[in-house]
């Protein structure tokens, strides 16, 4: 075969790609081992997947964490843990890990229309009553010592369960949540001095949902409002950390304010500690009660493992796509198929393009969720927002470039797909990369505690219904992704190192969004609330959109550089972004 020389650069590049793929596999394996070791407490916690059936027949996917030594003869106290809107049961794994490590049985569940559970969303008390009933039925659970904890909409589920089974639990924790008061959340049970039993409210002073949930524009002021005080049986202000009422008669109340944002509650050691303290106080062993410290937790090592595995998965997907492209096209094909790749764009134009995603995120996302109808075919309303934002922003960017610099015309668009044969090989390369990642995710999901995610970006296996979702939305998402990859290819050219290209690409796509988020959140963190308080939920969407766009940029730029073409990079980016979005988007209707 001979050693690599200047005459066979393709062989050298292929070997480098194989090394990169091997490194990615090591990251995946190492991250997964770290995550599963942490989640299972080094093997002391048994984790089992199960299914819960609601009264209407919906099947909800759930996970049960059982600590070592628990049995029917020696049952343990238990806690139901329910995620919020757009989440899934893994969202609550931080709480479950710490509870199981302290001897509690923990049950996490995908709400209806979320994760692997049957749609539609919002049905059967958000899945709360069925989850409580299932938890009580476990022979390893002491049914006299059960607590419930729910984040955001998961709090609604917990309240619904408390209303339906008033004697079926001992305490409840509302994490970044609220109760009904006849207003926006009129379908949520209302709280008072005796309902629900032994309630803790864990609500951040930087939570974006404060205006909607508590009628307070400054989240840190909810303890000064009548809504919280009325259920605590006191006059405002409610003193953070104080216990009102009595645990024995079920009227105990407390309020705490961990320093994080709404989507950070399940990734906050303070929020986890405050939740566990209330559970220990209300259903734990009285003679063994002790303060739960933020420093005494271990769940975040699992999160670090998940992030490492995710990074490794991206490396494998990118490397596999580039290697497949090289094998299919031959080593000589490493140049761009887009005319004018190295012409670049002016700095004012690049600055304008970096601002564009921030200018369009609120209006285009809102248009997508409101104007595009929800039908059996178009069945994920939040996905419509992302699709309209992505397509609209790419179209506007192309129009601006055409207006100021030319180059985006029929000829340049045809350059993306020079012929069916080249397009077919590009698609095959992208599918190879996505498939490699899917195999790794599938294997990791078979391991207790294994996952590929880092806060707002993550991959999980797709049940049959979400494969249907992927088929529905993959074309518009991929069209936008190919446009993104092509634009980055032209803007960045082919000169300079890959790290520099990645940094420049991220600044171009996400720089404006980060500035926009700073404008929203700096006043919030300073204690003034958000500039437009009612748009807090859209600010949360912007955080998610920024994370997904950053991941898309990394994939697009890396594959652009490795293949010399925006077509395989755009196709791979489209497949991965579709996977992320449809995998987490709630399904409010039953498609079939």
The string of DSSP letters for 68-112 reads TT--SSS-EEEEEEE--TT--GGGGHHHHHHHHHTT-EEEEEPPT
pLDDT of amino acid 115: 97
pLDDT band of residue 289 (cuts 50, 70, 90) is low
User: Strand pairing of 105-109 and 59-67?
Assistant: antiparallel
Cβ neighbors of 313 (< 8 A, separation 6 or more) are 24, 28, 437, 440, 441, 452, 459
pLDDT band of residue 2 (cuts 50, 70, 90) is very low
- The Cα-based distances of 296 to 90, 102, 260, 292, 305 in angstroms read 21, 11, 19, 7, 18
458-471 residue pLDDT tens = 999 999 999 999 99
41-71 residue pLDDT tens = 999 999 999 999 999 999 999 999 999 999 9
Angle between helices 464-492 and 566-584 (to 10 degrees): 140
Give the whole-angstrom CA distance, residue 491 versus residue 355. Answer: 15
Higher pLDDT, 175 or 406: 175
Query: With 90 as the cut, is the pLDDT of residue 344 above it?
Result: no
pLDDT band of residue 40 (cuts 50, 70, 90) is very high
pTM of the model: 0.94
Residues in the chain: 592
Q: Which residues lie across from 50 on neighbouring strands?
A: 62
Give the whole-angstrom CA distance, residue 266 versus residue 352. Answer: 36
130: which 2 tokens? 């069925």
Contact by Cβ (8 Å): 199, 174: yes
Q: How many CB atoms lie within 10 A of CB 497?
A: 9
Please compute the mean of the pLDDT values over residues 231-248 and round it to a whole number.
96
The string of DSSP letters for 508-540 reads HHHHHHHHHHHHHHHHHHTTS--SSGGGHHHHH
Query: With 80 as the cut, is the pLDDT of residue 404 above it?
Result: no
405: which 2 tokens? 């610099």
- Output DSSP code: residue 177: -
Q: How many CB atoms lie within 10 A of CB 270?
A: 18
Higher pLDDT, 332 or 344: 344
Give the whole-angstrom CA distance, residue 431 versus residue 571. Answer: 8
Please compute the mean of the pLDDT values over residues 237-249 and round it to a whole number.
97
Q: If residue 45 lies in a helix (H) or strand (E), which one and from where to where?
A: strand 45-53
User: Strand pairing of 243-244 and 253-256?
Assistant: antiparallel
pLDDT of amino acid 286: 66
Q: Residue written as tokens 């916690």?
A: 45
pLDDT of amino acid 415: 57
Angle between helices 566-584 and 299-329 (to 10 degrees): 150
Please compute the mean of the pLDDT values over residues 327-346 and round it to a whole number.
56
pLDDT of amino acid 400: 86
Which bin fits 28, alpha (ψ -120 to 50), beta or left (φ > 0)?
alpha
Cβ neighbors of 287 (< 8 A, separation 6 or more) are none
Query: With 90 as the cut, is the pLDDT of residue 409 above it?
Result: no
Which bin fits 241, alpha (ψ -120 to 50), beta or left (φ > 0)?
left
């Amino acid at each position: 075969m001979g050693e690599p020389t200047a005459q066979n650069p393709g062989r050298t590049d292929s070997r480098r790609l194989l090394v990169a793929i091997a490194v990615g596999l090591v990251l995946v394996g190492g991250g997964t081992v770290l995550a599963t070791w942490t989640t299972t407490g080094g093997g002391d916690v048994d984790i089992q997947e199960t299914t819960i059936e609601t009264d209407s027949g919906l099947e909800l996917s759930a996970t049960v964490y059982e600590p070592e030594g628990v049995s029917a003869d020696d049952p343990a106290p238990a806690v139901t843990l329910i995620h919020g809107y757009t989440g899934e049961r893994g969202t609550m794994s931080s709480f479950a890990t710490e509870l199981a490590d302290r001897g509690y049985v923990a049950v996490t569940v995908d709400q209806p229309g979320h994760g692997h559970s049957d749609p539609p969303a919002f049905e059967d008390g958000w899945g709360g009553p069925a989850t409580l009933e299932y938890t009580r039925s476990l022979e390893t659970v002491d049914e006299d010592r059960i607590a419930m904890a729910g984040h955001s909409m998961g709090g609604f589920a917990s309240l619904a369960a408390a209303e339906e089974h008033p004697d079926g639990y001992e305490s409840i924790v509302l994490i970044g949540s609220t109760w009904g008061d006849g207003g926006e959340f009129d379908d949520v049970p209302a709280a008072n001095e005796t309902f629900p039993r032994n309630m803790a409210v864990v609500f951040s002073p930087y939570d974006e949902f404060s205006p909607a949930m508590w009628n307070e524009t400054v989240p840190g002021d909810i303890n000064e409002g009548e809504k919280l005080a009325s259920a605590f049986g006191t006059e405002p202000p409610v003193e953070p950390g104080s216990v009102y009422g009595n645990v024995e008669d079920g009227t105990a109340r407390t309020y705490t304010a961990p320093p994080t944002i709404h989507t950070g509650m399940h990734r906050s050691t303070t929020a986890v500690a405050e939740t566990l303290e209330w559970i220990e106080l209300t259903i734990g062993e009285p003679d063994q009660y002790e303060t739960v410290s933020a420093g005494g937790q271990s769940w975040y090592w699992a999160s670090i493992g998940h992030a490492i595995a995710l990074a490794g998965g991206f490396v494998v997907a990118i490397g596999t796509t580039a290697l497949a492209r090289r094998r299919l096209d031959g080593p000589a094909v490493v140049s761009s198929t887009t005319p004018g790749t190295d012409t670049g764009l002016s700095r004012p134009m690049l600055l304008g393009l970096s601002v564009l995603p921030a200018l369009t995120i609120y209006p285009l996302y809102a248009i997508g969720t409101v104007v595009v109808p929800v039908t059996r075919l178009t069945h994920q309303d939040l996905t419509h927002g992302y699709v309209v934002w992505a397509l609209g922003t790419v179209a506007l960017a192309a129009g601006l470039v055409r207006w100021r610099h030319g180059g985006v015309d029929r000829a340049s668009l045809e350059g993306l797909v020079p012929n069916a044969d080249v397009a077919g090989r590009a698609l095959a390369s992208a599918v190879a990369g996505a498939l490699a990642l899917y195999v790794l995710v599938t294997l990791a999901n078979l391991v207790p505690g294994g996952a590929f995610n880092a806060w707002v970006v993550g991959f999980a296996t797709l049940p049959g219904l979400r494969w249907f979702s992927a088929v529905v939305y993959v074309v518009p998402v991929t069209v936008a992704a190919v446009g993104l990859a092509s634009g980055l290819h032209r803007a960045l050219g082919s000169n300079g190192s890959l790290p520099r290209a990645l940094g420049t690409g991220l600044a171009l796509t996400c720089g404006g969004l980060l500035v926009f988020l700073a404008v929203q959140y700096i006043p919030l963190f300073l204690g003034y609330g958000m500039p437009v308080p009612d748009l807090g939920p859209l600010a949360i969407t912007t955080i998610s959109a920024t994370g997904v766009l950053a991941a898309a940029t990394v994939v697009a730029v890396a594959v652009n550089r490795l293949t010399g073409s925006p077509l395989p990079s755009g196709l791979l980016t489209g497949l991965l972004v579709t996977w992320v979005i449809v995998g987490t988007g709630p399904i409010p209707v039953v498609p079939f």
